[in-house]
Amino acid sequence: MSSDRTLPAWLAIVGRVGASTLSLAAIIAGVGVAATGAPAELIRNLPGGEEELLIREVVLTPPEREVVCVGPLLGFIPQDTQARGFSEPTELIAGVERESSTLDSPDLFNEQGLRGEDPASPLTVHRQPSSEPGLAAVSRQSFDSEVLRGLGTAACLPAQFETWIAAGSAETGRQAVLSLANPGDVPATVDVTVYGRSGAVSAPAARGILLPPGTRRVFPLTGFAPGETSPVIHVSSQGSAVAAALHTSVTRGLDADGVAVVTGQFAAATEVIVPGVFIDGSDEAFERRQEPGFADLAPTLRLLSPADDTVAQITVLRPGQAPVLSEVTLSAGRVEDIALDAVGSGIFSVRISADVPLIAGARVSVVAENSTDLSWVSAHPFLNEPTYMALPFGPEVTLSVVAVDEAAEVTISRLSPDATRVVGQSSLRIGAGETANRLIGVAGGAYLIETSAPIVATSVLVLGAGIGHVATAPTPPDIPPVPVITR
C-alpha cells in the first residue's frame, strides 16, 4: 500500500528559492568566467570540454560608390518666384557596371516656366560597386542667350554631411541659387548658415530644412542673406548626407555676363590650398575692370575663420617664379575678400595657413571683346592615392597641381571610356611646396592621377569667352576585412 506524501508549504518554497539561487549563481559564475577571461584549464574542466575556436576573415560586400551631378544651371528670370532649371547639361561618366537615377525636384520650374517632366529639371546620381574601377563624372553646360551667358562646369561628387561654399553674391545683378539634394534612403534635416562681412547672418528659414529621400530643394541666397556681397555658406545635415552646390550668374544692366557652378570645400582646416587660380593680366582685362559695374572681374581670394580670430599667411605659388607672400588678419565669423591682381598673369595656386581652421575660395574671370565669364574654385582636399577624374570634351583643359610638403612624381593616364585600359600617359615632377601646370587639351575623357607624395589638383577649363573648373576629389576607400570568431 502506498500513499502520496506532500512537503509542508514553507519547505517547498525554500526548495524553490534554493534552486533558483543555485541557477543564478551558476549564471553569474559563467558570466564571470567569460568576463575575466578564465584560464584554458578551467574551460577544459567544464562539462563538454574545450571547443576549438576558428578565426575567419570576412570581407564585407563593399558599398557602392556614389556621385551626384549638379544638374541644369539654376536661376531666376524677372517676375519669377521660383527657380528654373536651364538647359540640359552634358555629362561624361567614366567607369563600368554603373547605374544612374534622378532625384525629384518638386519646387523647380523647367526652362519654359512649367512644372512636370522635363530633361532639364532632374539631378542625376551615378552609382557603382566600389570593387569596380574608376567611377568619375563631370557636368558641362554653356550658354549664349539674353538670359544666361558663360561656361558652367563641375565635377560630380559624393554627398557629404558637411559642406562649405566660399562663393557667390546676393547683391543686385548677381544671382546665387543653393541646391540641396538627398540621394539617400532616409530623410535629411539640413541647417544652412551664411557668413558675411559682418559675421553670421540670422536666417531662421535656413534651419531645420527637411529633405525627403531622393529629392532636391533649391533656395535663392537672397532669402537667407539679402544683399550680402561676400557670402560663405555652411551646409550641415543629419540623417543622410547631402550634395550641396551653388549656381551663380551675373547680369550687368540688361546683359547676361557670366555663370558658374560651385561644389564647395568639405571641411575647414589650418592648411588649405586653392589650385588653378587663373589670372588674366592683359591690358584689356585691366581696362575692363576699371569700367563701372565691372570691378568684380578682379581675381579675388575669399577667406573665413569660422570660430576664432587669427592671422592667416597667404602664399601665391607661381610656376617657375618666386612665390608672393602676404598675411591678413581675420576676425571670427567675418568674411574677407583679398585682391589677387598684383601677382602677374597665368594659372597660379594659393596656399593659406593659420593656427585655426579656415575656409577659402577664389573668384577668377576671363574677358572677351563683348562678354566676360567667371568661375569659383574652392580649397581642395589632399590626394595621396590613385584618383579617377572625368573631363568634358570641347574646352581646353589645363591640370593645375601643387606638391603639398615634398617633391611629387605625378603620372597622368588617359583611360578608355570604361576606365579599364590606359591609352596614353604623361608625367609631371613638382618640387616640394611648388605648383605646376600640364596642358591636357580639348579631348576630354577619363583620366587616372597617381602620385608619389600628397598633392592638390584641379582642372581649369577655357572655352572661348568661358571659364570653369573641375575638382579632383579622392576616391572613397574600400572596407577592410573583419575578423570573425566562430565555434
Grid cell in block for residue 315 = 602664399
Is pLDDT of 80 > 90? no
Among candidate residues 401, 387, 412, the one with its CA nearest the CA of residue 476: 387
Among candidate residues 436, 240, 452, 456, the one with its CA nearest the CA of residue 360: 456
**Contacts (Cβ under 8 Å, ≥6 apart) of 299:** 277, 278, 279, 280, 339, 340, 341, 362, 363, 364, 365
pLDDT value for 15: 44
Is pLDDT of 165 > 80? yes
Residue 73: how many CA atoms within 13 Å on its side-chain side? 27
In Å, how far from its chain's centre is CA 79? 33
pLDDT value for 5: 40
Q: Where are the beta strands (DSSP E) in 183-242?
A: 188-196, 199-201, 209-211, 215-220, 232-238
pTM of the model: 0.84
User: For the chain, how big is the Rg over CA atoms in Å?
Assistant: 29
The pLDDT confidence band at residue 371, using thresholds 50, 70 and 90, is: confident
The pLDDT confidence band at residue 37, using thresholds 50, 70 and 90, is: very low
Is pLDDT of 10 > 80? no
Is pLDDT of 9 > 70? no
The pLDDT confidence band at residue 486, using thresholds 50, 70 and 90, is: low
Among candidate residues 19, 197, 29, 211, the one with its CA nearest the CA of residue 107: 211
Please answer whether residues 110 and 116 qualify as being in contact, where contact means their C-beta atoms are separated by less than 8 angstroms.
Answer: yes
Average pLDDT over every residue of 206-212 = 96
Average pLDDT over every residue of 313-320 = 96
Domain ranges of the chain: 9-51, 64-126+140-381
pLDDT value for 99: 84
Grid cell in block for residue 11 = 519547505
User: In angstroms, what CA-CA distances link 420 with 94, 139, 212, 414?
Assistant: 10, 22, 36, 10
pLDDT value for 110: 75
Is pLDDT of 332 > 60? yes
- For the segment 266-280, what is each residue's pLDDT rounded down to a tens digit? 899 999 999 999 998
The pLDDT confidence band at residue 200, using thresholds 50, 70 and 90, is: very high
Is pLDDT of 395 > 70? yes
Element (H, E) at 119: none
Pairing of strands 162-166, 123-129: unpaired
